[in-house]
C-alpha cells in the first residue's frame, strides 16, 4: 500500500509526534508499505508562536497538490492540524478523497495557558477539522473518552511503542550523574509551561532533580532553581543511558496525550511517578510500574519502592509493530476499483477516459 503521511512536525524537531511518525514509517517499510512524508521543512515558513522549533509552512497548497498527484496514495493520513495538515485536508475534501487524522496535542489547554483563548473555542475548531475525517486516531482509551465529551467522533485507538533495542536496563554509571546525591529524579521533555515543570522542581524531596530537554522556559527555570541539573536535549543511546541511571522518572504533565518518555523509562527499568491523568492512567500499572497520586511527592516516594526488573518487563507490552498494525487498521483506503485504476501504468489519456466513466462522487477520482 502507498500511504501519504502529512505532518507539520518533522525532523529536526524533537517531540513525540516526530518520534511516533519516524518509528511508524520504519515499521510500515518493514511491513512492505511505501510511505511518503508530506511536510513543510523545505518550504518558506514562519516560527510557530511560543514554539519556534516548529516552522509553519507558508502557502503549502501547490506543494501538497504536486506530492499527492505524483505519489497516487492508496491512503492519506493527516498527523497535525497546521498549514500542511489543513492543505491536505482541503485537497482531499475538494475531491471527495477519504482521509484519516490524528489527535496528538491538546491545543485547547496549551493555548489557554499562553493567551486568553477559551478552550471551548479551540475545541469547536478541532471538531470541525477532525470530524471531516473517516476516523481520528487517539493514543489512549482515556483520551478517547475525553474527546467524545468535546464532540469528536469516529475515534480509533492508535497506541505508541518503544525501541527496546535502544532503551533497556544498563549499568548506572553515566558520567553526568556520577556522585550526584540520590535519589536521581529525572524529567524528560520540552521545557515549556504546559509540562507543569514547577510541580517537579518544587518537590520537597532530597536528591537530585534532572531535566533532560530544552525549550522557552529553560533560562527562567535554571535561574529560579539553581540546584537542578539542566542537561539539555539528549538523544538515542545517550538518552537511554541517562534514563537507566535514574531512580525514578517524574512525569508532572497534566496535558500530554500519551507520554512516550514514560515507556522509554520503564524499558530502562525506571519506575514512574505521575498524576492520575490521561497518559499515565493508560501507560502505568498502579503499584507495579508506577505510582499515580495528586500528591506528586507521595507518588515519587512510592515509585522508588517498585521493582526495576518488573518495570522493564512491563515495557515489553509497548511494541511499535503492534502500534503500526493499529495504525494500518484505522486507515481509510481509496475504493479498491479506483486504487487498481491508479496502479496501472497507462497513458494519461486512457486514465482520463476510464475516470470519466466513474461517478464523480467516488472517492479519489480527482487525485
The CATH number linked to 261 is 3.40.50.2000
Model pLDDT for residues 79-121, shown as the tens digit of each residue: 999 999 999 999 999 999 999 999 999 989 988 988 899 999 9
Range of the domain at 214: 184-315
Transcribe 185-241 into DSSP letters: EEEES--SGGG-HHHHHT---SSEEEEEB--TTHHHHHHH-TTSEEEE---HHHHHH
Quote the number of domains for the chain. 2
Same structural domain, 154 and 202: no
Domain presence at residue 249: yes
Q: Cα(first)–Cα(last) distance of the chain, in Å?
A: 16
Domain presence at residue 18: yes
Instruction: Record the cell numbers describing residue 115, joined without a space.
Output: 493567551
Domain presence at residue 308: yes
Q: What percent of the chain has pLDDT over 70?
A: 92
Domain presence at residue 170: no
Residue 361 confidence (pLDDT) above 90: no
Q: What is the mean pLDDT of residues 20-36?
A: 98
Same structural domain, 326 and 311: no
Domain presence at residue 283: yes
184-188 vs 208-212, strand pairing mode:
parallel
The average confidence (pLDDT) of the chain is 91
Domain presence at residue 90: yes
Same structural domain, 237 and 133: no
Same structural domain, 56 and 204: no
Rounded Cα–Cα distance for residues 169 and 307 (Å): 12
Same structural domain, 34 and 62: yes
Same structural domain, 89 and 198: no
Residue 90 phi, psi dihedral angles, 5° rounding: -65, -45
Domain presence at residue 329: yes
Rounded Cα–Cα distance for residues 244 and 16 (Å): 20
Residue 339 confidence (pLDDT) above 80: no
Integer angstrom CA distances of residue 101 from 54, 73, 229: 19, 15, 38
- pLDDT (0 to 100) of residue 51: 77
- pLDDT (0 to 100) of residue 279: 95
Same structural domain, 142 and 247: no
Domain presence at residue 362: no
Same structural domain, 7 and 153: yes
Of 289, 315, 341, at which residue does a domain stop?
315
- pLDDT (0 to 100) of residue 346: 35
Q: Residue 55 in 3-state DSSP?
A: strand
Same structural domain, 126 and 90: yes
Integer angstrom CA distances of residue 174 from 67, 265, 364: 45, 15, 53
Same structural domain, 301 and 327: no
- Cβ atoms of residues 258 and 280 within 8 Å: no
Same structural domain, 111 and 88: yes
Same structural domain, 210 and 328: no
Res. 169 pLDDT band, cuts 50 70 90: very high
Of 287, 315, 343, at which residue does a domain stop?
315
- Cβ atoms of residues 204 and 301 within 8 Å: no
**Which is nearest to 189 in space by CA: 290, 107, 260, 276?**
260
Amino acid at each position: 500500500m502507498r500511504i501519504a503521511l502529512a505532518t507539520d512536525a518533522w525532523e529536526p524537531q524533537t517531540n513525540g509526534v516526530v518520534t511516533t511518525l519516524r518509528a511508524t514509517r520504519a515499521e510500515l517499510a518493514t511491513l512492505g508499505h511505501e510511505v511518503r512524508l508530506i511536510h513543510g521543512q523545505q518550504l518558506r515558513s514562519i516560527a510557530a508562536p511560543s514554539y519556534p522549533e516548529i516552522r509553519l509552512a507558508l502557502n503549502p497548497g501547490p506543494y501538497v497538490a504536486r506530492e499527492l498527484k505524483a505519489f497516487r496514495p492508496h491512503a492519506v493520513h493527516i498527523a497535525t492540524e497546521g498549514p500542511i495538515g489543513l492543505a491536505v485536508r482541503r485537497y482531499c475534501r475538494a475531491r471527495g478523497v477519504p482521509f484519516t487524522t490524528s489527535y496528538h496535542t491538546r491545543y485547547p489547554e496549551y493555548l489557554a495557558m499562553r493567551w486568553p483563548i477559551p478552550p471551548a473555542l479551540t475545541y469547536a475548531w478541532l471538531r470541525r477539522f477532525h470530524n471531516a475525517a473517516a476516523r481520528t486516531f487517539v493514543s489512549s482509551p482515556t483520551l478517547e473518552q475525553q474527546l467524545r465529551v468535546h464532540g469528536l467522533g469516529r475515534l480509533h485507538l492508535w497506541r505508541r511503542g518503544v525501541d527496546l533495542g535502544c532503551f533497556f536496563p544498563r549499568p548506572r554509571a553515566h558520567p553526568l550523574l556520577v556522585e550526584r546525591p540520590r535519589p536521581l529524579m529525572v524529567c524528560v521533555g520540552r521545557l515549556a509551561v504546559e509540562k507543569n515543570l514547577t510541580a517537579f522542581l518544587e518537590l520537597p524531596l532530597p536528591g537530585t532533580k534532572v531535566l533532560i530537554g530544552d525549550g522557552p522556559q529553560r533560562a527562567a527555570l535554571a535561574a529560579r532553581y539553581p540546584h537542578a541539573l539542566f542537561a539539555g536535549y539528549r538523544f538515542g543511546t545517550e538518552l537511554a543511558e541517562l534514563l537507566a541511571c535514574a531512580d525514578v522518572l517524574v512525569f508532572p504533565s497534566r496535558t500530554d496525550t500519551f507520554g512516550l518518555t514514560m515507556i522509554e523509562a520503564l524499558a530502562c527499568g525506571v519506575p514512574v511517578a505521575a498524576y492520575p491523568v490521561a497518559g499515565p492512567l493508560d501507560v502505568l500499572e498502579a503499584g507495579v510500574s508506577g505510582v499515580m497520586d495528586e500528591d506528586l511527592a507521595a507518588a515519587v516516594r512510592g515509585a522508588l519502592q517498585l521493582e526495576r526488573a518488573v518495570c522493564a518487563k512491563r515495557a515489553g507490552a509497548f511494541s511499535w509493530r503492534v502500534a503500526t498494525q493499529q495504525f494500518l487498521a484505522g486507515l481509510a483506503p481509496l475504493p479498491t476499483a479506483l486504487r487498481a485504476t491508479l496502479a496501472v501504468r497507462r497513458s494519461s489519456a486512457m486514465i482520463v477516459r476510464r475516470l470519466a466513466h466513474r461517478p464523480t462522487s467516488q472517492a479519489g477520482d480527482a487525485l
